[in-house]
Structure formats: C-alpha cells, structure tokens
C-alpha cells in the first residue's frame, strides 16, 4: 500500500477514533498502568496526547496479525551461535572514586537515595 496513502488513511482513522471510533481493531492502552510500570511521570497533557498517538501506532501494529506464523521460530538473535563465555579470571575493576564519579549524592563511599520504603 502506498506509503502516503497509509499515512492518509491512518490520519483519517485517528480522527475518526477521536470522534467516536469506526475502526474495529483500535486497541486501548491503559497509559497510567504502563507509565507506572515504566516509572515515568507524565503530565496530563502528555497522557492524553500520547494515548492517542500510541493507540494509532498500536492499531498499525495489528498488521502483524495478517501473516501466518505457525511453525516459525522467533528470531532472538541475528545469528545463531552458542556458548559465548569467559574463564573465571579476575580483571581490573573500578576504584571506588571511579564508580561514584558521576554519583548525584554520596556518603561513606556509597550512593545516597531518599528513603526507600519497601523491599523489592
């Protein structure tokens, strides 16, 4: 499908969605849930702007459902090889000053963070 036609069609789709939706497969994104998982603060404006944009993009992702992937292996790596490892021989590390060189706050040679309330 022509690229610019795609853009045009999606633009139409996006408008239609914001008016009340006509495309059957427009996925919804619980942006609060996902932003929380990703530890991202979003302004209310960002939330509404991103929701619309992302749902548009997710709608585009539905293309992936058009193809039959039965029996197809997922491609986890560009090239398949195994057993990449190193012998257990110590190499040079950081001096503590290097490790903490970019630390925003430190005390007693450790990173300081505001009180963490629970255990992971």
Restricting to residues 78-117, which ones interact with other proteins according to CB under 8 A? 78-79, 81-96, 98-105, 107-117
Restricting to residues 57-76, which ones interact with other proteins according to CB under 8 A? 57-58, 60-61, 63-67, 69, 72-76
Residue 52 binds to other proteins (criterion: CB under 8 A): no
Q: Report the residue from 19, 25, 41, 44 that binds other proteins according to the rule CB under 8 A.
A: 41
Per-residue b or e along 10-39, where b marks 16 or more CB atoms closer than 10 Å to that residue's CB: eeebbeebeeeeeeeebeeeebeeebeeee
Q: Minimal CA–CA distance to 26: which of 8, 7, 13?
A: 13
Residue 46 binds to other proteins (criterion: CB under 8 A): yes
Residue 5 binds to other proteins (criterion: CB under 8 A): yes
Query: What are residue 72's phi and psi, to 5 degrees?
Result: -95, 130
Q: Residue count at the site for other proteins (CB under 8 A)?
A: 80
């Amino acid at each position: 499908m022509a690229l610019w036609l795609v853009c045009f069609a999606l633009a139409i789709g996006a408008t239609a969605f914001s008016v009340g939706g006509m495309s059957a497969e427009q996925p919804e994104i619980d942006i609060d849930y996902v932003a929380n998982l990703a530890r991202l603060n979003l302004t209310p404006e960002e939330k509404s702007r991103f929701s619309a944009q992302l749902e548009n993009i997710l709608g585009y992702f539905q293309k992936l459902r058009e193809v039959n992937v039965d029996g197809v292996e997922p491609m986890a790596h560009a090239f398949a090889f195994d057993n990449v490892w190193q012998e257990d021989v110590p190499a040079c590390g950081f001096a503590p000053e290097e490790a903490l060189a970019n630390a925003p706050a430190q005390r007693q040679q450790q990173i300081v963070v505001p009180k963490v309330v629970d255990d992971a």
